[in-house]
Amino acid sequence: MKITVVTPLYAIAGVPLAQIRFAKCLSARGHDVELIFGRVVEQYKLPEISGLKVINLNCRNVRGMFVPLLRYMKSAKPDIVFSAEDHLNAIILLAAIVAQSNSYISCSSRVTPFDTYSNKPFSKRWFLKILMRSVMWRANVLTCVSIDMVAQYRRIFNNTKHTCVYNIVADVNFHTRAAESVEHPWFKNRSFPVLIAAGRLAPWKGFADLINAISIVNSFRTVRLLILGDGPLRNELQSQIKSLNLGDKVQLIGYVDNPLKYFSRSDIFVLSSHVEGLPNVLVEAMMCGCTPVATDCPTGPREVLNGGQYGYLVPPRDSQAMASSILKAIDNRISDELLNQAVRPFQEDVVIARHFDLLFSPSYRS
């Protein structure tokens, strides 16, 4: 089949990386796949991906993608289009309607609709809601990356056919990347537990809460924490580490090409977010054998951990509770058997089968 995978931009971030992974998996199964980006974020370079045709529309914003996508739908005539993020989903559906395209279209929502749509008349988010309500009939499949998000969309759009399909988290190269060597000295001296966290150094990721929790934990026992990622709060977090005298216990590593090799050598993964869609990084860490400690934030962590069966859930913004759960997790690790059970829904074969079952299922479309 000729399949097009579309995403608004290329950056080292969750949605574009998930779309790249998805496109590569489809290509590996013998499909003719084209991967379209609306634009490339300034500090990055468009990747060359073996087996895929990669297209950069070079548009300033998602609205600007309408005309190029309209032309593309008319000329390329893909059998299936997979789109991600609501602004782009609306544009894709509108382009398909105007182009009178026969393509099957699957639209994936990645963040809570409460952050995407508004009831405030004439606001940008209100107009988006009106547009999406007008064109969503054209989608063959509407998906969310968590079950909790499906419920949210059904509150925003009455009688919507949104359903849950997870992102692919493990592809064929996963275990090879996880086995790569790491030279960091904390992995060579394993006299202390090593904790790991990863994500953009931004307010909603809650890393300040995590650093405070590590200060509390170290008053009971010595642990080390590595935080992977970069972002606008780097200097602020570094100052916090210094003020708490944690310089020898917490390190900000910055962006790394392969976080999996760090996860596979760490004991505990901590997700400190205030809000998520569905945190792929949490699943990645569990696949690498980390015992998870995660905030019970909307949406995703409770679902991934099955209410606490597969890890430790703590209230968001509560450093004391996080510290307590970290201490419990160190002494009571989650077994590999349970971790493997937890991450099975995110495996490539399961996710792709789910997508195609929905696309060609008369019962879903009815």
Domain ranges for the chain: 2-168+347-365, 174-345
Distance CA 216, CA 210 (A): 10
Give pTM, 2 decimals.
0.82
3-state SS assignment for residue 243? helix
Chain Cα centroid distance, residue 237: 23
Burial of 159 per CB tally in 10 Å (0-12, 13-18, 19+): exposed
Distance CA 339, CA 354 (A): 21
Neighbours of 277 (CB within 10 A): 23
What topology is assigned to 174-345 in CATH? Rossmann fold (3.40.50)
pLDDT at position 265: 96
CA dihedral angle for residue 27, residue 83, residue 361, residue 299, rounded to 10 degrees: 110
Distance CA 48, CA 359 (A): 29
Distance CA 100, CA 327 (A): 58
pLDDT at position 239: 98
DSSP strands (E only) in 192-273: 194-198, 224-228, 250-254, 268-271
The residue among 325, 323, 261 whose CA lies nearest residue 291 is 325
**Is-same-fold flag (2-168+347-365; 174-345)?**
yes
Best CATH choice for the domain 2-168+347-365 from the list 3.10.20.600, 3.30.2320.80, 3.40.50.2000, 3.40.50.150: 3.40.50.2000
Neighbours of 219 (CB within 10 A): 7
Distance CA 297, CA 318 (A): 11
* Lookup: tokens for 204: 């909603």
Q: What is the pLDDT along the chain (366 residues), one digit of tens a residue?
A: 999 999 999 987 778 988 999 999 999 999 999 999 999 988 788 888 888 999 999 999 999 999 999 999 999 999 999 999 999 999 999 999 999 999 999 999 998 898 899 999 999 999 999 999 999 999 999 999 999 999 999 999 987 899 999 999 887 788 899 999 999 999 987 889 999 999 999 999 999 999 999 999 999 999 999 999 999 999 999 999 999 999 999 999 998 989 999 999 999 999 999 998 889 899 999 999 999 999 999 888 999 999 999 999 999 999 999 999 999 999 999 999 999 999 999 989 999 999 999 999 876 654
Distance CA 345, CA 270 (A): 21
Distance CA 250, CA 162 (A): 41
The residue among 151, 88, 87 whose CA lies nearest residue 116 is 87
Beta-carbon contacts of residue 352 (< 8 Å; ≥ 6 apart): 25, 26, 29, 168
Q: Hey, what amino acid is at 213? A: A
Residue 112 has φ and ψ, to the nearest 5°, of -60, 135
CA angle 113, 348, 306 (to 5 degrees): 55
In contact, 97 and 103? CB cutoff 8 Å: no
